[in-house]
Amino acid sequence: MSLESIIKHILDKADADREKIIRHADEEAHKIIQAAKQEVEELYNASIEKERTLYEKEKQKLIISARLESRKDLLKAKQESIDSVFEKLKSNIDKGVIKKELVRQNRVEETTEDIDFYIDKIRLDYETEIAKILFE
């Protein structure tokens, strides 16, 4: 074998080895890229799911808060209506209608009674009934 044929053989072998190494590197790069894409996809999906969960929780908080505020407003309106009924009752009762007798040692006096005292006293008994009438 001549020197030229030996050099040609070495160069051909080197070219073949180089092609083999390049193909192997390309295959490894492709595997690494596929693995990276899959990992990115999984991280993306996990992130989306986490955000979706946070969104749902926040949405539920807002709904619950709105419902609570709505109930508070409704109860406040009902209480204002009940207060209005008792205020109208108080204003419609003549100031001199409710009287009491004060018995003293030597005499009996008739005085007018404070209406607020009696309204407050009957309010507890009738508030529920008034609410039923107004809101059913």
pLDDT tens-digit series, residues 80-128? 888 887 787 777 676 656 667 777 778 877 776 667 777 777 777 777 7
Q: What is the pLDDT of residue 96?
A: 57
CB 126 within 8 A of CB 85: no
CB 98 within 8 A of CB 113: yes
Report the C-alpha gap between 129 and 124 in whole angstroms: 10
Domain that holds residue 120: 3-135
Band of residue 78 on the pLDDT scale cut at 50, 70, 90: confident
CB 114 within 8 A of CB 100: no
Split into its structural domains, the chain has a count of: 1
Task: Evaluate if pTM is beyond 0.75.
Answer: no
Report the C-alpha gap between 75 and 65 in whole angstroms: 15
CB 98 within 8 A of CB 73: no
Report the C-alpha gap between 83 and 89 in whole angstroms: 10
| Residue range 17-47, pLDDT digits in tens | 899 999 999 999 999 999 999 999 999 999 9
Q: Residue 103's beta-bridge partner residues?
A: 108
Q: What is the pLDDT of residue 32?
A: 96
Q: Which residue has the tokens 């979706």?
A: 52
The pair phi, psi for residue 67, each rounded to 5°, is -65, -40
CB 126 within 8 A of CB 82: no
For residue 74, pLDDT over 80 is answered with yes
Band of residue 1 on the pLDDT scale cut at 50, 70, 90: low
